[in-house]
Amino acid sequence: MDSISKSFEQKEEEEQSLQKTNQSFEEFLSTLPRDYGWTPLFDCYLYQGCWYYPFFLRGVIAAQQHFEAQPTDIFICSVPKSGTTWLKAVAFAIVTREKYSDLSSHPLLSTMPHECIPFLEVDVVGKEHTNQTAEVPLLATHIPYHSLPKSIISGGCKIVYIYRDPKDAFVSLWHFTSKLTPKDATHISLEEALELFCKGVSYYGPYWDHVLSFWKARKEAPQRMLFLAYEEMRKDPLPCVKNLADFMGQPFSVEEENEGVPQKIVDLCSFENLSDLDVNKKGKHRPENAAGIENRAFFRKGMIGDWQSHLTPDMAERLDQITREKFGGTDLPSYVSD
């Protein structure tokens, strides 16, 4: 067989196998509990106790089946809207600081942080199923701990987890979903979104269970997990950046400290700096697919306590009540007014 007909046959086989996968994925989806995904664009589906949009769920399952973690991989984990974009920028700036010591041409000035670090369930699976050849040993995922691909756990990979006051995460997610929703479609009200969020139905929710899945795992393997609270990092970023560098095995040297490198990274990755860059004001993230969104949607206010401008005392109390029940007995910040 000549090489042209061989590659034609191969292509046909690949297409058939893809169609079969699509069909079996659709069939699989139809067996899962389903609920409203906060936007008319997608419903969400409950898989292993977590709510996913189909686009991401397909990647989660592929990652569970095929992803091969390297022991040197470091994972940035979070529930959406907890500060992932910021943590990605900081982690990337730390591990690449030698290569990009000239901050005036740093990639973060022209590249949206999500594009600097691959997203496991979207960018890695379906391709090499490993991060082995990547420039940096960093990967990001929103998968809860109990559903992570086994090789991440058995490989002893380090995990950095960022979390946030559920009230601010909720308000942030509501704004974000609104930006995903076409202007002429029905936008979910804050009240409807709150109902769903409290039921646990939100993008990679239930929010509280996601945080707890990592918190419980950290108790078993504290040396390979770093927990960062968005609020602590916002109030005093410098010690968090240094702590993160230590944890990732790349502590700042005395010379770097004297040259102010940690502070330069804080400044480079600050909300004020990143949100004002052209790339983050005008660019689009994943323009090619259904979940494509403008970069500026990832930089809204970056405030602690913005929930106070949106939630009534009753709404806040509903969220606090769940936080009390779920986080009570842990050393997580209480986030509730007693």
213 binding ligand A3P? (CB under 6 A) = no
In the complex, least distance from residue 305 CB atom to ligand A3P, rounded to whole angstroms: 10
298 binds ligand A3P (CB under 6 A): yes
Q: Which of 175, 187, 310, 318 binds ligand A3P (CB under 6 A)?
A: 175
As annotated, the active-site residues are 142
CB of 275 to ligand A3P, least distance (A): 7
Q: Which is nearer to ligand A3P, 83 or 206 (CB)?
A: 83
Contacts of 267 (CB under 8 A, 6+ apart): 273
Is the Cβ of residue 150 or residue 301 nearer to ligand A3P in the bound state? 301
Using the minimum distance from each CB to ligand A3P, give the nearer residue, 124 or 180: 180
232 binds ligand A3P (CB under 6 A): no
Nearest CB to ligand A3P, comparing residues 28 and 271 = 271
Under rule CB under 6 A, residue 209 binds ligand A3P: no
299 forms part of the interface with ligand A3P (CB under 6 A)? yes
CA distance 331 to 327: 8
User: With helix as H, strand as E and coil as C, how does the chain read?
Assistant: CCHHHHHHHHHHHHHHHHHHHHHHHHHHHCCCCEEEEEECCEEEEEECCEEECHHHHHHHHHHHHHCCCCCCCEEEEECCCCCHHHHHHHHHHHHCCCCCCCHHHCHHHCCCHHHCCCEHHHHHCCCCCCCCCCCCCEEEECCCHHHCCHHHHHCCCEEEEEECCHHHHHHHHHHHHHHHCCCCCCCCCHHHHHHHHHHCCCCCCCHHHHHHHHHHHHHHCHHHEEEEEHHHHHHCHHHHHHHHHHHCCCCCCHHHHHHCHHHHHHHHCCHHHHCCCHHHHHCEECCCCCCCEEHHHHCCCCCCCHHHHCCCHHHHHHHHHHHHHHHCCCCCCCCCCC
Interface map 244-283 toward ligand A3P (x if CB under 6 A): -------------------------xxx--x---------
202 interacts with ligand A3P by CB under 6 A: no
CB of 82 to ligand A3P, least distance (A): 5
Cβ neighbourhood burial of 275 (10 Å; 0-12, 13-18, 19+): middle
Identify which of residues 215 and 307 has a Cβ nearer to ligand A3P in the complex: 307
Can residue 302 be called a binding residue for ligand A3P (CB under 6 A)? Answer: yes
The yes or no reply on residue 68 touching ligand A3P (CB under 6 A) is no
Which positions from 78 through 117 interact with ligand A3P, judged by CB under 6 A?
78, 80-86
- Interactions with ligand A3P, residue window 118-137 (CB under 6 A): none
From candidates 35, 43, 294, 306, binder to ligand A3P by CB under 6 A: 306
Judged by beta carbon, residue 82 or residue 96, the one nearer ligand A3P is 82
300 touches ligand A3P (CB under 6 A): yes
- List interacting residues with ligand A3P (CB under 6 A): 78, 80-86, 168, 172, 175, 234, 269-271, 274, 298-303, 306
